[in-house]
Amino acid sequence: MEIVLDCACGGKLAVHEGQAGLRLPCPQCREEVRVPSLGDLRKRNGVVPTTNPVFEIAARLRSGELPLRECAGCAAPAQWEVPLVAECERASVESNEVHWIWLLFAPRLFFWMPGWGVRATTREYGRDTVVKTPITLCDSCCHQRPSEPGEWGATLSRACFTGGLFACLFWLPAGAGLIGVAFLLATWQHRRMRAFRRRLSKWFGTVPAYTELRKEYPRLVLHLGADPRPLAQSVLSPSLRLG
């Protein structure tokens, strides 16, 4: 794309991206005109540079623009920072392992299953993208912050399900009852997790840089760190952030 540069004499000089950084003679006065850098030329052309929001957040954390000095919950001045981990992408793992539970129903599957008994292979695709960033909170929001629900609801549910399947082999009502309990436990765990994630998402949404991250990775999962730290003085004092 051609860009027209102005010379001090009023002459016009048409350049293209390949000439970025060069000094070219003005067609009118023959004086040298400096062609701007490639980035500046593109900016003049209205080309917005695209950067991955992950790098953008890292740059903002380095420059001190992040974390914000306002509370993510209520916009009051913040006193605490809590580590927040955004899991953007996980490497996907493919495995040919067969869960042992199937042996319970079809012991003979063991002999039929092609490849069963062959060593399990696990392949990994892609890579993990995890962004660690503190979120800032005021005193009262920090005290009321949700804690990540433990996994024990899910563990108990799995145990009940397995126990239920086992019990079915001996006494059907007991087995069905246990499977029912497993289902209730799983629902309860799911609800707790959802409430927790919804609250975190609300906080996350108050920081514009993070909204970009969510656009790039719609399935991102948030985790909140356990211990809050008093907000660093360098972050609180604007004078220290200059330069």
- Pull the structure tokens for residue 121: 């292979």
59 binds Zn ion, rule: CB under 5 A: no
CA distance 86 to 135: 11
Piece in contact with Zn ion (CB under 5 A), picked from 7-15, 99-107, 144-152, 160-168:
7-15
**Which three-class secondary structure state does DSSP give residue 21?**
coil
DSSP conformation letters of 77-145: BP-EEEEEEEEEE--EEEE----THHHHH-TTHHHHSTTBTBPP-EEEES--EEEEEEEEE-HHHHHTP
How big is the chain, counted in residues? 243
28 binds Zn ion (CB under 5 A): yes
> Which residues, numbered 122-151, are part of the site for Zn ion (CB under 5 A)?
138, 141
- By the 8 A CB rule, do 229 and 78 touch? no
Q: Which is nearer to Zn ion, 71 or 213 (CB)?
A: 71
Judged by CB, which is closer to Zn ion: 77, or 180? 77
CB 166 within 8 A of CB 187: no
* List 35, 54, 71, 231, residue binding Zn ion (CB under 5 A): 71
- Which span sits near Zn ion by CB under 5 A: 8-16, 95-103, 197-205, 211-219? 8-16
Give yes or no for residue 74 binding Zn ion (CB under 5 A).
Answer: yes
Instruction: Output the smallest distance, CB 103 to Zn ion, in A.
Output: 53
Minimum separation from the CB atom of position 232 to Zn ion (A): 18
Footprint of Zn ion (CB under 5 A)? 7, 9, 11, 26, 28-29, 31, 71, 73-74, 138, 141
